[in-house]
Amino acid sequence: MSHDPNCIFCKIVAGQIPSKKVHEDGDILAFHDIQPWAPVHFLIIPKQHIVSMAQIGPEHAALMGKMMTLAPKLALEQGCRPYPEGGFRIMVNTGADGGQDVHHLHLHVIGGPRPWLKG
């Protein structure tokens, strides 16, 4: 599994920086965003250092499927109302033009009553 010693998310995975965990297994870590945009806002990241969505290949299909199928379960557990009245947003920023600030692939899961402060 690749790791970047200068990456803040790799440091969170390694336990060098604390986080408020939502979920953890052998492949994935989910934790609350430190600057939430909405009542529910957490990140889902692969433990493997993948720089961005632009670097995803066929070899990552199972990992991405696991991350995407985990999102609805965690969204409900964290307080999002069920579909169709409730719901949530999944956002993946990719590259400078896409607004990516941390260069480690991450899904933002955002939900709760609107209006939200951003986005």
Nearest Cα residue to 93 out of 83, 102, 81, 84: 102
Catalytic residue among 49, 103, 104, 106: 106
Residue 30 burial (C-beta neighbours within 10 Å; 0-12, 13-18, 19+): buried
Catalytic residue list contains 23: no
Under a CB-based contact definition with an 8 Å cutoff, are residues 34 and 21 in contact? no
CA distance 59 to 67: 14
Which residues are marked as active site? 106
